[in-house]
Structure 1
Amino acid sequence: MKPVSHLDSYRRHATADAPPIPELTDPWQARVARPDGYDLHLIHRWNQAPHVAAFWRQAWPLPRWEEQLRAHLDGDDVRPLLISWHGRPVIYAELYRAARDAVAGCYQARPHDLGLTLAVGELAMTDRGLVRSLLPRLTDALFEADPHCTRIVMQPDVRNMRAIKSFEAGGFMAADEIMLPGKLALLMVCKR
């Protein structure tokens, strides 16, 4: 009898659908960000904030953010999310299929691997333990939403020690330094 590999599950599912929208438990909620109105203006403002712009490098004009969000929502590769804590939006996140992103050139990405980028939008909400509290709940919800996903990756800028420490505290482990367009990043992984 041939031994069964944990990889057999994802091999049978060589392609993956759009990233799932996680169902979080209180006090957290996640929803798809809209490319207009309140969501657009909030995401634009957060990306102008120096603590976000320094590492995301997306302090774009409002029309470019509208275009970016619409492109994400029209495709199957990225889902822009607003994550709320006690009903208040505090984090902008992008959930993506790592195998269809530049990060796939830096490690052996599997079709169902998920990638995650996130930023706490308001400077006053940083250093409160929000990310380290959110990440275990978020990764559990993502693994539950996609049973074929075995890894979630993040790729913070190596200079962003605040984020790296929060991601480690939230269950991600450093794997390797990688070169991505525009930055030297730390590949971080959370396994099922």
Structure 2
Amino acid sequence: MSPTDASADAVSAPRPNIGVGRSTDHEDTLDLRLPDELIALFGAERPCTSEGPRDTGTDTDTDTDTVTDNRHRQQRLADGSAPPAAPSPVGHDLLDAVADWGPITTSAGVFHLVPVRVERDLPLICRWMNDPAVAAFWELAGPPGVTENHLRPQLDGDGRSVPCLGVLDGTPMSYWEIYRADLDPLARHYPARPHDTGIHLLIGAVTDRGRGLGSTLLRTVGDLVLDRRPACARVIAEPDLRNIPSVTAFLNAGFRFSVEVTLPAKRAALMIRDRSLRDLM
């Protein structure tokens, strides 16, 4: 997604076309086996075989405002660089049933990720996208159709990205995307591991910004992913490297800085929350 002004809403930017910087963290350069789901999806592209489906393809918080930019997905759809979504293998959920993850108690209240329903949620999400502070990064300002065109490919796709409302004490106050980073084009630009799970965040209500909620919810959702997805060892995010408050918020949420990544619209900080380190950070 994508970002910028440390004093305004944070965002994370488009994805790649260029390579990734190398990390001295050898842990991040191992285990580059393609995930089984990706192999299965590639199989569908081979003619005359019986194999299945094929491939397609901030988040951030600051102690002031929090927003996430998803421009890379729009760019890929617009320029044809992202293959169309394919159905997921029969009986397989790429994100372990986000709809069933349930509510969780946090220091800020009871928080619940609720998958988006366009007919119910479009007016609210559209209003958030038309907030100038959000529009500067997400670039989804405009009539409801603009936001709907952003949501539909995820809702009608194979389930590798699930758009959700973040509901705090019964009130929708944020927009999230939980996605399979290892099946996303982002995986071409860092040493992805099977089941890496990415998160994008936008805090919608102005009254909820600048209160440290971003760090609290980033930690909450990062841990929720690890708890509900046993096969996932890492949660991934990519805020703009220039957005120091945003990067700091991820650090405060238990993420570590791994490497700088060159994406089309920004130089990003690849942030990782490790299952093995979650009790130490």
Residue 169 (structure 1) aligned with residue 252 (structure 2): yes
For normalisation by structure 2, the TM-score amounts to 0.59
For the residues of structure 1 that align with 2:103 and 2:263, how far apart are their CA atoms? 30
For normalisation by structure 1, the TM-score amounts to 0.84
SS at match of 2:226: helix
Residue 155 (structure 1) aligned with residue 238 (structure 2): yes
Higher relative contact order, chain-length normalized (CA < 8 Å, sep 6+):
2
- How many residue pairs end up in the alignment? 183
Residue 28 (structure 1) aligned with residue 134 (structure 2): no
Letter in 1 for 2:128: W
The answer for unaligned runs of 5 or more in structure 1 is 1-9
Overall identity of the aligned pairs, in %: 37
Residue 62 (structure 1) aligned with residue 144 (structure 2): yes
For the residues of structure 1 that align with 2:143 and 2:247, how far apart are their CA atoms? 28
Residue 123 (structure 1) aligned with residue 198 (structure 2): no
How many angstroms does 1:65 deviate by? 1.5
The 3 A distance-change label for structure 1 pair 163 and 55 is: farther
How many angstroms does 1:70 deviate by? 2.0
After superposition, residues 1-192 of structure 1 pair within 5 angstroms as 14-15=36-37, 17-20=93-96, 21=98, 22-26=101-105, 27-37=110-120, 39-75=121-157, 76-192=159-275
Letter in 1 for 2:140: Q
Letter in 2 for 1:185: A
Quick check: which has more Rg, 1 or 2? 2
Letter in 1 for 2:126: H
For the residues of structure 2 that align with 1:176 and 1:12, how far apart are their CA atoms? 21
Q: Which stretch of structure 1 is more off in the superposition, 182-191 or 45-54? A: 45-54
Q: Is the 8 A contact 1:23 1:141 kept in 2?
A: no
For the residues of structure 1 that align with 2:94 and 2:193, how far apart are their CA atoms? 14
Q: Is the 8 A contact 1:15 1:112 kept in 2?
A: no
Q: Is the 8 A contact 2:129 2:147 kept in 1?
A: no
For the residues of structure 2 that align with 1:60 and 1:125, how far apart are their CA atoms? 23
SS at match of 2:135: helix
Q: Is the 8 A contact 1:175 1:189 kept in 2?
A: yes
Q: Which stretch of structure 1 is more off in the superposition, 28-37 or 61-70? A: 61-70
How many angstroms does 1:158 deviate by? 2.4
For the residues of structure 1 that align with 2:261 and 2:142, how far apart are their CA atoms? 25
Letter in 2 for 1:71: P
The 3 A distance-change label for structure 1 pair 55 and 67 is: closer
